[in-house]
Amino acid sequence: MTSHLLALLLSLIAVIPPQRYGCTDIIGGRVVRPHSWPYMAAIQRKNLTECGGALVEKQWVLTAAHCQSNKSEVRVVLGAHQASIAEKEQQIFKVMHYFPNPQFDRSSKENDIMLLKLNGIAKLNKFVQLLPLPDSCEDIEPGTMCKVAGWGVTSSGKPSKYLRKTTLKIVGRKSCQSKYVNYTKITSNMLCAIGKNKFLKTDACQGDSGGPLICAGRYSGIVSFGKGCGRRDMPGVYTRLTEKYIDWIKKIISLHRDP
Ligand code: ARG
């Protein structure tokens, strides 16, 4: 009898997931169903994913300005699940041109948005698709549920092999600003988002930057920065897709579109 109880107890312990602390998965998220985020782009150097992005036109990826690297050998992988190995669904490009927002400010992190022109045209199929820009640029209300995905650092401290996603909710700028005093100003061009459950830490992390934040089904923001990752009460900060940015994106694409 007691041995039965003991066995039951042991098996219960085995199914309780260990608590995780510190910088983490896309922290607290889970692996996506392969190719269920067909607009996700992995921006890599030497097969390491440094940033995410979203395919917004067949030759254009939208990401964060702080993802610009002056080094060559950058590649953009579309259609990936495991981005650092070859998969048959993948389409791989080089960056023909970087268009960081001219008002990007590295220290204040304002205007952290950039377009990449690829050196070829993506073929749209089941695995590679466009993420449409929002047609309304209204602000996103606190409490709105959002999702984000990336190949960034997980709770193990290492980047994820597979694309992972998590769910977040928008927090108001005032309360967000109170967490970022002495750090930076949270402007109306930014959105803050945190795990929906106080006890389950979840967040974007290093390597997830540039990836899309999708709120109530609409492309709403871009992973930009955070103080640490997955810290208690510490929201992550996203560039908000405001009207000003959408106009800038449309202008750049139409000016630099191949004939
Ligand atoms: N700046 C990071 C990157 O380059 C992303 C940070 C997001 N951090 C966060 N805690 N939400 O990948």
* Catalytic status, residue 188: no
pLDDT tens by residue, 198-213:
778 999 999 999 999 9
144 and 72 housed in the same domain: no
Quick one: pLDDT at residue 137? 83
DSSP 188: T
The burial class, CB within 10 Å (0-12 / 13-18 / 19+), for 19 is exposed
Question: Using CA atoms in the order 82, 202, 166, 183, what is the torsion angle rounded to 10 degrees?
Answer: -90
> Among residues 112, 208, 220, 224, which one is catalytic?
112
Stated pTM of the model: 0.89
The answer to whether residues 22 and 52 belong to one domain is: no
pLDDT digits (tens, 9 = 90+) for 19-65: 333 333 489 999 999 999 999 999 999 889 999 999 999 999 999 99
CA gap 25, 159 in Å, rounded: 8
Is residue 152 lining ligand 1, measured as CB closer than 6 Å?
Answer: yes
Atom from ligand 1 closest to the CA of residue 209: 12
* Shared domain check, 229 and 102: no
Q: Are 156 and 201 part of one and the same domain?
A: yes
Model pLDDT for residues 64-114, shown as the tens digit of each residue:
999 998 777 899 999 999 999 999 999 999 999 999 999 999 999 999 999
The C-alpha atoms of residue 196 and residue 189 are separated, in whole angstroms, by: 22
- CB distance 79 to 124 below 8 Å: no
**3 occurs within a structural domain:** no
Q: Is 209 a catalytic residue?
A: yes
105 in any annotated domain: yes
- 166 part of a folded domain: yes
The CATH number covering residue 112 comes to 2.40.10.10
Whether residues 189 and 216 fall in one domain: yes
Q: What domain range is 175 assigned to?
A: 17-32+133-241
- Output the pLDDT for position 16: 38
Tell me, using a 6 A CB cutoff, whether residue 209 lines ligand 1: yes
| Residue 4: predicted pLDDT | 53
